[in-house]
A and B are shown apart, each in its own frame.
Chain A
Amino acid sequence: MSLTDDLYRETILDHYHNPRNQGKIEDASAEVEGVNPLCGDELTLFLKLNDQGIVEDIKMNAHGCSINTASGSMMSEAVLGQSLEKAREIIESFKNMMLTKGEELPLDEELEDLEALRGVKKYPVRIKCALLPWNTLLEGLEAAEKKCCQHS
């Protein structure tokens, strides 16, 4: 089952079985929900930004398939401690990787783990599973930014 092996690589299954940054943030700067109506995947994302607009904490409460869960887990590691601007850059390069056809650009070295999800591209139906946490994060960043700006 070579195709299956490709999709269910060790990195993905590791994040699936032990998802990072699971849970809630009580005093979150933003709390957003993401839903995939076709398969019923659900995700609540909590974000905390500090005064400098750095992602100080990120937590997720997710019920989804392996791709969805692993993608969210990897994402949380990738953006934790990053500035808003950098976090948006990371989202963009990940979405580019998942959505562009043809020429394949490697991700930056620091995002190496996310490369494991490139295999999902062969399964068009599953791409949306992988993207759900990222689209939710985009929304979350916007909401958190608004809230932080109002404070300052």
Chain B
Amino acid sequence: MATILDKPETKEAMSSLNLEKIRRDFPILRREVDGKRLVYLDNAATSQKPLSVINKLSEYYQRYNANVHRGIHTLSEEATAMYEGTRETVRRFIDAKETCEIIFTRGTTEGINLVASTWGKQNVLPGDEIVLSPMEHHSNLVPWQVLAQEREAKLVFLELTAEGEIDMEAAAKLIGARTRIVAVTQMSNVLGTINPIKELAALAHKQGAIILVDGAQSVPHMQISVQEMDADFVAFSLHKMLGPTGVGVLWGKKDILKAMPPYMYGGDMIASVSRERSRYNELPWKFEAGTPNIGDVIASAAAFEYLSELGLENVREHEVEITRYALNRLREINGIAIYGPKDPQKRGGVISFNMKDIHPHDLGQILSDAGIAIRAGHHCCQPLMKDLQVMGTARASFYIYNTFEEVDMLLAALREADKVMGNVAYR
């Protein structure tokens, strides 16, 4: 659909990544949808998986499937070594101090729920304040709502500027003496906004509060150091960063994790059990009750390795450039509303938009028929939709395998959608 004038081959040369080589590693990208090449622009929902991840999962089940931390036999030892080895891979990836600070969860949602229901119940008292941003995903909002209701605490919301960034002057006032925890996303899944975690952490710590970072959208796309940003908790999901579904990571500062009660009780999280009482295991196993998701955790190591090999700086650079290109091209369309910061350096590769009064669902449908996968709806951010005064948005989100040519295809399909939906009104 791109015209000759667009010269996609020159545009691809603008990327910091070897897109052609990367695309060969993702079998699904060769798939056709209704006879059209798949253009996958729904990466903020979940990313595709490279062959190395798929193979690692298959290899585990074919060669050394066994339960961890128990058996004396060879398979169990191998599985345990690979499972615990992944913890070290994660530690290096996010620059954590110790592996015992890495807890495997089902995903970001479970990580946040774990903190809300253990640390939260222990530390949040009636009248205390929980500070959130208005751009939080439901998973970093609802657990705090419930905690606030149970503890008679108060939810306080930070304010956003017109471009969808946190108003830091207001934040300095809103984060106060009663604040116990600040829970914010590092990158909005709707606006793309990258939030200044280090500054927010400083504001929280000044008040004796802690900060939890929802890293679901940021960790897959940019280099982070949990020590550098001085967070207290960071939660993220592997399925958004080339890994399998059903694996997440909760990182927390050792001292805080140590003082927290367990989240779930049962096998693997105990040190000793008698009929009446039990002693709990040490970190991180204290928080990993039951048989963990061994196969998917092990396969996750391949995802971390894939991204590390590309280099997170290169991943980020590619996304800044493709986002810059997409923003410029989208602005060509009459009657388009694009949300979030205008400067691609200040945002991730997530672009939410609305076109005239076309419902995002209709846009998504027409794009799907052109082989293009985007997300349409409220993106699990209903309060933010209300702030933006929209029912929902259409959202295109990029990753390491997306090309500039695909942006051109998105544009062509959007123009087609405009034609399809308008063909009665304009007659």
Interface of A toward B, CB cutoff 8 Å: 1, 3-5, 7-8, 10, 13-14, 16-17, 38-42, 63-68, 123, 126, 129
Query: Which of B34, B362, B369, B425 is A65 in contact with, Cβ under 8 Å?
Result: B362
Distance, CA A41 to CA B377, complexed state (A): 9
Q: Are the C-beta atoms of B377 and A7 separated by less than 8 Å?
A: no
Known: A13-B424, A42-B391, A65-B362; 12 extra A-B contacts, CB below 8 A, are A1-B366, A1-B369, A1-B420, A3-B34, A3-B369, A7-B365, A8-B420, A8-B421, A13-B423, A40-B377, A40-B378, A66-B359
With A4-B369, A39-B392, A40-B391 as known contacts, state yes or no: A14 contacts B424, CB within 8 Å: yes
Q: Are the C-beta atoms of B361 and A65 separated by less than 8 Å?
A: yes
Q: Mark B392-413, 1 if CB is under 8 A from A, else 0.
A: 1000000000000000000000
- Nearest 3 CB-CB pairings of A with B: A65-B359, A65-B361, A13-B424
Q: Are the C-beta atoms of B365 and A126 separated by less than 8 Å?
A: yes
How many residues in B have their beta carbons less than 8 Å from beta carbons of A?
A: 22
Q: Are the C-beta atoms of A39 and B369 separated by less than 8 Å?
A: no
Q: Are the C-beta atoms of A40 and B424 separated by less than 8 Å?
A: no
The listed residue with most B CB atoms (<10 A of its CB), out of A4, A5, A126, is A4
List the B side residues contacting A7 at CB < 8 Å: 365
CB B247 to nearest CB in A, in angstroms, measures 25
Instruction: Indicate if B370 sits at the interface (CB-CB under 8 A).
Output: yes
Which A residue's beta carbon lies closest to that of B420? A8
In the assembled complex, 11 residue pairs joining A and B whose CB atoms fall closer than 8 Å, in A order, are A1-B369, A1-B370, A8-B366, A8-B421, A13-B425, A40-B382, A40-B385, A63-B391, A64-B359, A64-B391, A123-B365
Query: Which of A14, A42, A126 is B361 in contact with, Cβ under 8 Å?
Result: A126
Instruction: Indicate if B416 sits at the interface (CB-CB under 8 A).
Output: yes
List the B side residues contacting A3 at CB < 8 Å: 34, 369
List the B side residues contacting A126 at CB < 8 Å: 361, 365
With A4-B365, A65-B362 as known contacts, state yes or no: A39 contacts B421, CB within 8 Å: no
Query: Which of B361, B420, B423, B425 is A39 in contact with, Cβ under 8 Å?
Result: B361
List the B side residues contacting A5 at CB < 8 Å: 420
Distance, CA A96 to CA B122, complexed state (A): 53
Distance, CA A32 to CA B273, complexed state (A): 55
Q: Are the C-beta atoms of B420 and A4 separated by less than 8 Å?
A: yes
List the A side residues contacting B362 at CB < 8 Å: 8, 65-67
Distance, CA A42 to CA B376, complexed state (A): 16
CB B62 to nearest CB in A, in angstroms, measures 34
The listed residue with most A CB atoms (<10 A of its CB), out of B362, B385, B421, B425, is B362
CB A40 to nearest CB in B, in angstroms, measures 5
Which B residue's beta carbon lies closest to that of A41? B391
List the B side residues contacting A40 at CB < 8 Å: 377-378, 382, 385, 391-392
List the B side residues contacting A16 at CB < 8 Å: 424
List the A side residues contacting B391 at CB < 8 Å: 40-42, 63-64
Which B residue's beta carbon lies closest to that of A18? B424
Q: Mark B377-388, 1 if CB is under 8 A from A, else 0.
A: 110001001000
